[in-house]
Amino acid sequence: MGKRWNQERKEDPYYQKAKKEEYRSRASYKLLQLNKKFKIIRKGDRILDLGAAPGGWSQVALEAVGEEGRVVAVDLQRIRPFTEENFKSIKGDFTTREVKEEIISALEGQAAVILSDASPKLSGIKDVDQMRSMDLFQAVMEMCDSTLRYNGSLIMKLFQGPQFPEMLKTVKKKFRMVKTTKPPSSRKKSVEMYLVARGFRGTR
């Protein structure tokens, strides 16, 4: 990421908007737009935000759930705390047993919604990156099985590629309604796609 990338970022209208409106990330607008369209997050919900740093999606989720709700954010990097008492951040790998146990304890019940705007650590090697993307997807699916309530919802980022249809098929087995969309704040040249799923069937 050189000077050109930094310049493009500074000129980005959503980057400027985030600075002005005090959101931690331009990505906040992706969740704002998705939630406005699909009305997934409601007052009082328990939310699990995976791959949450720097906290842009958690910030939006906190606004949406209000004081009655709860937001638990997990990332390998430290997430700067919010002032709200119903926010809990966990630094660690959510695929490990220890962190999963910490998540379950912090949620104080099952999540109504799981969020994931996470991206795998890219190497630039196509086959390796596709495998890492699939591994991340599977990890999020496992978190749904262990922490998402029956009839709960999922919003997550996926990348369009050879494995995209397979990932979509997996989600459709677990949820009653599945849609894919690209919010206006998602960069046009990006291959990212957002999946919105409702009606978690639960584990069998």
CATH number at residue 132: 3.40.50.150
- Structural domain contains residue 185: yes
pLDDT confidence tier of residue 10, bands split at 50, 70 and 90: low
Residue 60: is its pLDDT beyond 50?
Answer: yes
- Structural domain contains residue 100: yes
- Structural domain contains residue 34: yes
Looking at residue 191, what is its pLDDT?
Answer: 83
Contacts of 84 (CB under 8 A, 6+ apart): 62, 67, 71
- pTM value is 0.92
Contacts of 158 (CB under 8 A, 6+ apart): 133, 137, 164, 167, 168, 180, 192, 193, 194, 195
- CB atoms near residue 43 (< 10 Å): 10
- Structural domain contains residue 7: no
- Structural domain contains residue 38: yes
Q: Which domain holds residue 135?
A: 25-200
Number of structural domains found in the chain: 1
Looking at residue 204, what is its pLDDT?
Answer: 57
Q: Which of 11-15, 119-123, 148-152 has the highest mean pLDDT?
A: 148-152
For 108-130, what is the mean pLDDT? Answer: 84
- Structural domain contains residue 13: no
- Structural domain contains residue 133: yes
- Structural domain contains residue 98: yes
For 177-198, what is the mean pLDDT? Answer: 92
pLDDT confidence tier of residue 8, bands split at 50, 70 and 90: low
Active site residues: 157
Looking at residue 92, what is its pLDDT?
Answer: 96
Looking at residue 5, what is its pLDDT?
Answer: 41
